[in-house]
Amino acid sequence: MNRVDPPVWTGRDDGPGAEHRRWHGTVRPLDGADRAGTVIVGFASDEGVRRNGGRTGAAEGPTALRRALAPLALHRDEALYDAGDVRVDDGDLETGQRALGAVVAGAMRAGHLPVVLGGGHEVAYASYLGLDEGLGSDRTRTLGVLNIDAHFDLREEPRPTSGTPFLQISEAERARGRAFRYAVVGINEAANTPVLFDRADRLGVGYLTDDQCTATHLERVLAFVRSFLDTVDDVHLTLDLDALPAWVAPGVSAPAPLGVPTEVVQAVVEEVAASGRLALFDVAELNPSLDVDGRTARVAARMVDRVRAARGRNS
Ligand SMILES: N=CN[C@@H](CCC(=O)O)C(=O)O
Ligand SMILES: [Mn+2]
Ligand SMILES: [Mn+2]
């Protein structure tokens, strides 16, 4: 298998004491957990992007994202844990997805919020495997996936890729006879062919295009998110960084020409995190080899940190 130890969390240190608290001095290995908190787990994979014909390098995403999280200041006492990385070796994506799912399910059973650092967007199916187990197989509660993404990722392919996770989840939930909701914020019309729009319509997928997600439309975007939240019990929130504008998030396989502004993405993740329904958050497609001055990693870290903070306000 492919589980590796958590890397060391380091960064600027202004001294001991709560007044200097940052992520790097707070994160502890999950093995020593003594209270409920947020669990970071990396999914070091770009096999899905490779299979999907994209630009590989997302396997280094978890390390870059931890480095960007490390110096961030914390303003209250809370538990943060690191479960390490699940690494996809030798192209065996399916084994890696199951391994990630097992870590997620274990964290959920212990009462933690899993935050999964991708990895290509194939991470979303791996997260789902964990959610499915962690929520309990006899569940009647409705699971919803809210995807912030330029793409539907509803491709029909002979084997799983970074472009297939939400069709896989939809089919898995249908096979189990469960209701399932899927919505996307940030769709770039020119990056999704008619067959994908037709499939989305057939599956009852709600979506907003990038044109509908400009800052002037913030209230409308939040209304869309709230009405989605009203239809589900548990939410899998997934952020594909290619939803953000290319100049904000250049370090992705498929950068966005318009994209969803940072403040709109932030408002959406905070809305979901504060709803009390967030079951898991994952961040996908960070490719450090394509990043510029770490800006994609920084914006990704900000969203992870805002999820942590907004969820804390609710508890
Ligand atoms: N996770 C990415 N999915 C996109 C990639 C698009 C592209 O590479 O241009 C998709 O398959 O549509
Ligand atoms: Mn995308
Ligand atoms: Mn995607």
Query: The whole model's pTM is what?
Result: 0.97
Residue of 167, 172, 159 lying closest to 184 (CA atoms): 167
Nearest atom, ligand 1, residue 155 CA: 11
Q: Distance between CA 254 and CA 268 in Å, rounded?
A: 22
Which residue type is seen at 66?
R
Q: Which residues of 153-191 are buried (b: 16+ CB within 10 A; e: fewer)?
A: bbbeeeebbbbbbbbbbbeebeeeeeebbbbbbbbbeeb
Q: What are phi and psi of 239, to 5 degrees?
A: -115, 115
- Which CATH superfamily, name and number, covers 3-314? Ureohydrolase domain (3.40.800.10)
* Ligand 1 contact, 121 CB (< 6 A): yes
> So what's the pLDDT on residue 314?
60
Residue of 6, 178, 195, 180 lying closest to 87 (CA atoms): 6
CA distances 251 to 135, 192, 197, 284, 297, Å, are 33, 20, 26, 11, 8
Q: Distance between CA 179 and CA 140 in Å, rounded?
A: 9
* Ligand 1 contact, 163 CB (< 6 A): yes
Q: Distance between CA 187 and CA 124 in Å, rounded?
A: 17
* Ligand 1 contact, 155 CB (< 6 A): yes
Residue 229 Cα, ligand 2 centroid: separation in angstroms?
22
Nearest atom, ligand 1, residue 162 CA: 1
- Cβ contact 260:149 at 8 Å: no
Q: Distance between CA 28 and CA 37 in Å, rounded?
A: 11
Residue of 190, 184, 191, 188 lying closest to 170 (CA atoms): 184
> So what's the pLDDT on residue 238?
99
CA distances 215 to 51, 211, 262, Å, are 34, 10, 9
Residue 285 Cα, ligand 3 centroid: separation in angstroms?
7
pLDDT in tens, the chain (315 residues): 356 666 679 988 999 999 999 999 999 999 989 999 999 999 999 999 999 999 999 999 999 999 999 999 999 999 999 999 999 999 999 999 999 999 999 999 999 999 999 999 999 999 999 999 999 867 788 999 999 999 999 999 999 999 999 999 999 999 999 988 999 999 999 999 999 999 999 999 999 999 999 999 999 999 999 999 999 999 999 999 999 999 999 999 999 999 999 999 999 999 999 999 999 999 999 999 999 999 999 999 999 999 999 998 765
- Cβ contact 74:115 at 8 Å: no
Q: Where are the beta strands (DSSP E) in the chain?
A: 3-4, 28-29, 38-44, 80-87, 113-118, 143-148, 180-187, 206-209, 234-240, 278-284
The best mutation among 125, 161, 162, 188 to test binding of ligand 1, ranked by most ligand atoms within 8 Å of the C-beta, falls on: 162
Among protein residues, the one with the nearest Cα to ligand 1's atom 4 is 163
Ligand-binding site membership of 151 (annotated): yes
Q: Distance between CA 154 and CA 193 in Å, rounded?
A: 11
* Ligand 1 contact, 151 CB (< 6 A): yes
DSSP-derived secondary structure for 10-56: ------SSGGG-BHHHH-EEGGG--S--EEEEEEE--HHHHHTT---
> So what's the pLDDT on residue 8?
76
Among protein residues, the one with the nearest Cα to ligand 1's atom 10 is 163
